[in-house]
Amino acid sequence: MTPPTDRERWRPPLEDVLDPVFGRMGVPPMIVVIPDGWSRWGCGQWVDSPVTGNFEQYVLHDVVPFVDAHHRTIPDPRSRGVFGFSSGGFGAWNLSSRNPEVFGAMAVLSADSFLDMTHKSMLYKYLDSIWPEAPTGPVEGNEWSQLVYDYSATYSPNPDRPPFYVDLPVAHPSGELIQEVWDRWLAFNPVINVHDRLDNLRKVSGILLDAGSNDDYNLHWGHRLLSHYLDEAGISHEHRENTGNHGGRAPERYQVALQWLSQVLASDRATTCPTQPSTA
């Protein structure tokens, strides 16, 4: 049965998600690292921004070296994967497709993608929600305003434009799309930047695309298009769809991702060192 709504998210204790993976599901031991990707704007999308912070560099130069220095890892990209859900799924794509020398596999779960279809409409839903007033920053309790300003802070930051330090991609009151700003958003769009990252993607040992076919934000269409482009480029990957929506099956999909990573990441069977996926 499909979960009833994205608005009622199940946030169980971490062990409720992980214990079945290493118990009932029989996944071999591995190190699971869950760094904090939140800024005061919302999720940092795991990209570098002068407004929200350098989250990509944080993972590459702080998290990974720290874990390798303090835990029994196999410090090799073939034994290190990255996975995440929604913004974290986008982050998994960004981190691995840009840095295959660090992350050798990615499990991309219901990731932000195909922005022309899925995110452009958010801009106008935001304007509708405050009409006829002009944008004046995030509005508490207004989902569309918070999403638009969070995405703008990560995709089109402007440190010279206080007090919110962003460039919005749509003009008020005309609704005209400001193409120069929108192009900055699109540069982060997986279905666009996939074409510039093919050489990197050929270096990774595994790519999993997983989304609910009833995603509330239509992110499954981005996964379908991304899978199509990977097929065209002859890049091996797995594309799965489940019957869920955007958030209702997230814990289950985390478990699926960990099980899949355990199958594609290399492990040194001559030692007891576990493989290490890192989650974003």
CA distance 241 to 131: 37
Predicted TM-score (pTM) of this structure: 0.89
Q: Across residues 236-247, what is the average pLDDT?
A: 93
H or E segment to which residue 149 belongs: helix 143-155
Q: Across residues 230-241, what is the average pLDDT?
A: 97
Instruction: Report whether pLDDT(271) > 80.
Output: no
Q: Determine what percent of the chain falls in helix, strand and coil, rounding each to the nearest 5.
A: 40, 15, 45
Structural contact between residues 144 and 126, judged by C-beta atoms closer than 8 angstroms:
yes
Band (pLDDT 50/70/90 cuts) for residue 133 is very high
Handedness of CA 43, 111, 79, 17 (dihedral sign): positive
Instruction: Report whether pLDDT(276) > 50.
Output: no
Band (pLDDT 50/70/90 cuts) for residue 8 is very low
Q: Which residues of 233-270 are buried (b: 16+ CB within 10 A; e: fewer)?
A: eebebebebbebbbbbbbbebbbbbbebbbebbebeee
Instruction: Report whether pLDDT(2) > 60.
Output: no
Instruction: Report whether pLDDT(279) > 50.
Output: no
CA distance 11 to 14: 8
Query: Which residue is it, tokens 């298009």?
Result: 225
DSSP state at residue 218: -
pLDDT of the residue at 5: 36
Instruction: Report whether pLDDT(227) > 60.
Output: yes
pLDDT of the residue at 16: 86
Give the model confidence (pLDDT) of 255-267 as tens digits.
999 999 999 999 8
Q: Across residues 166-175, what is the average pLDDT?
A: 97
pLDDT of the residue at 132: 96
pLDDT of the residue at 249: 87
Give the model confidence (pLDDT) of 79-125 as tens digits.
999 999 999 999 999 999 999 999 999 999 999 999 999 999 999 99
Radius of gyration for the chain, computed over Cα atoms and rounded to the nearest angstrom: 19
Residues in contact with 103: Cβ distance below 8 Å, sequence separation at least 6, in sequence order: 77, 80, 81, 82, 95, 96, 204, 278
